[in-house]
Amino acid sequence: MSKQFVLVAALAASFASVASANIRITEVMSSSNGGGTPTPDWIEVTNFGSSAVDLSSWRIDDGSFNLAASAVLNGISSIAAGESVIFIESAAGAGVSGFRTFWGGISGLQVGYYSGSGLGFSSGGDGVCLFDNGGSILSQVSFGAATSGSSFFFGWDSAGALDPAYNAVVSTVGTIGTQVTFTSSSDTGSLGTAIGVPAPGALALLGLAGFAGRRRR
């Protein structure tokens, strides 16, 4: 095996690790005014990295954060750099079309789905986490009692930690940071936008600089 091949493989693995590590949960709805019809529990997931991430075999669980009780994410194969996507609780994705209609079509926004026994967000307070295809938790959040019809949003700092300045309940129409909020049939959310998504390419340049630094030692 050539040194060049090993270098390329190591670089690719490094980028893949950085990319998946920058997937974050940025919004959660745990108590729709519709009571699950036509819009159920849902989460928004954002790629803060600079390259696309393959979501094959990724899984979701609620506040138990338990891989054994988790469900597979379906309907979205990958998430592009800077992209936000939605996953709704829906058996076989039957509710995706109604969800789109409820929120005005949300053109251009990927909507996937999941379902599982006992997998649901309690309006009294709960949590949600994402597992990658190796079973590691890539992102998790916890939230308190819901305000009916309002989603929770989550901001993240440059170190990948929750930013308390941008964690709250979306309860009014307007703009929070760079996150645009809107209302549909008394439900308020900000589907498809997130706070602090970096400029494309920024993390890739940092990754290259770090890799080059290691090679010179």
Residue-wise pLDDT tens digits, 87-137: 999 999 999 999 999 999 899 999 999 999 889 999 999 999 999 999 999
Percent of the chain past pLDDT 70, that is, above it, reads 80
3-state DSSP percent of the chain in helix, strand and coil, to 5: 20, 35, 45
Determine, yes or no, domain membership for 88: yes
To which residue do tokens 């989550």 refer? 154
Average pLDDT over residues 18-26: 81
Please measure the distance between the N-terminal and C-terminal CA atoms of the chain and give it in whole angstroms. 22
Determine, yes or no, domain membership for 116: yes
- Find the domain containing 125 and state its range: 3-146+198-216
How many domains does one find in the chain?
1
Q: Using the predicted structure, report yes or no on whether residue 78 has a pLDDT greater than 50.
A: yes
Dihedral pair phi/psi, residue 214, rounded to 5°: -65, -35
Determine, yes or no, domain membership for 186: no
Task: State the pLDDT at residue 214.
Answer: 42
Task: State the pLDDT at residue 19.
Answer: 58
Determine, yes or no, domain membership for 178: no
Question: In the structure, what pLDDT confidence band is assigned to residue 199 with cuts at 50, 70 and 90?
Answer: low
Say if pTM beats, i.e. exceeds, 0.75: yes
Determine, yes or no, domain membership for 185: no
To which residue do tokens 């010179």 refer? 216
Q: Using the predicted structure, report yes or no on whether residue 187 has a pLDDT greater than 80.
A: yes
Sequence-distant (6+) residues with CB within 8 A of 88 are 39, 40, 41, 42, 95, 96, 99, 111, 112, 113, 114
Locate 181 and state its tokens.
């909020």
Residue-wise pLDDT tens digits, 124-146: 999 999 999 999 999 999 999 99
Determine, yes or no, domain membership for 165: no
